[in-house]
Each structure stands twice: as C-alpha cells, then as structure tokens.
Structure 1
C-alpha cells in the first residue's frame, strides 16, 4: 500500500480514500489487508481534514483595502 504523499492534493487524497472505501465495502478483502486498508483510509481522512482546516483558516482571513489582514470566525457566523 502506498504512503500518503505530502505533495498529494486534496482531490488526489479524496480519490484514494474513495477507492479504499469502495474496496472495503466489497467485503472480499482478506482480514490483514482490510486492516491495512482501514489504517490507510484513516490516514487519508486525517490528511483531507487537515487540508480543509488549512483552507478554512485561509478563508477566515479577509483582506482590507489597506492590506491589513483581519481574522474572522466563519463558524460563529454559521451559528447566527
């Protein structure tokens, strides 16, 4: 099983995760291989989550006209 590449894009990680899930859902994978695939899926899920958090943080920064970055919290706005 391939290691998650640090340079792997979000889309590539998601595609690989979807492939892992699809194979596991088929149910015809030997137990040892299924466990390894599950672990790989968890790594990919974590990678995707971290990439999404990074993008969310970037979106939380709004550029003012004078070039100053201001932090906003989108999660608070969603609750209102």
Structure 2
C-alpha cells in the first residue's frame, strides 16, 4: 500500500475497503495484519480530513428576504 498523501477521497476509501476485506478474511500473518491495520487507520484519517474539508466548503442555496435564491455558507450544528 502506498504511504503517499495523494489521491482522491474515492481512491482512499476504495483502498480502505480493500484492507478491511483482507483483514476480515483472517488469513494473513500477524505482522501483515498489523501493517494493513496501520495503513487502514491512516486512510481512515485521510478520508475523515477530506470529508471535513468538503464540509467546510459546502454552501447551501437559500432564499433571501425577497424570495430570491442566495448563497449562504454552511454552518455546522454544534455537537451535544
């Protein structure tokens, strides 16, 4: 598995899904399983960061006071 920080969200997610599948099969030696697990954690964090970045860029289309479409920055709802 590549340790580069390049690639799209979809590529990272696909690689992560492949790792999960291999680990679920349970036929790998312990060392290889640990390597894949570490790579999976790295990919999971990368995907989470990409999702957070995308969320910050989201704009919602809303109506202004006159009923015309307007762009408004996405605001996160506070977590409880």
CA contact (8 A) 2:59 2:74 kept: yes
Query: Secondary structure in 2 aligned to 1:73?
Result: coil
* Equivalenced residues, count: 70
Is this contact kept in 1: 2:16–2:43, CA < 8 A?
yes
- Report what 2:30 is aligned to: 31
Of Structure 1 and Structure 2, the greater helix share is in 1
* Bigger radius of gyration among the two: 2
More strand by percentage: 2
TM-score of the aligned structures, taking structure 2 as reference length? 0.75
How high is the TM-score relative to the length of structure 1? 0.75
Q: Distance in 2 between matches of 1:41 and 1:30?
A: 16
Structure 1 runs (4+) deviating above 6 angstroms are none
Unmatched segments (≥5 aa) in structure 1:
63-68
Equivalent-residue separation in structure 2 for 1:8 and 1:72 (angstroms)? 25
Q: Tell me the C-alpha RMSD between the 2 structures.
A: 2.3
Quote the Cα distance in structure 1 between the aligned partners of 2:60 and 2:42: 28
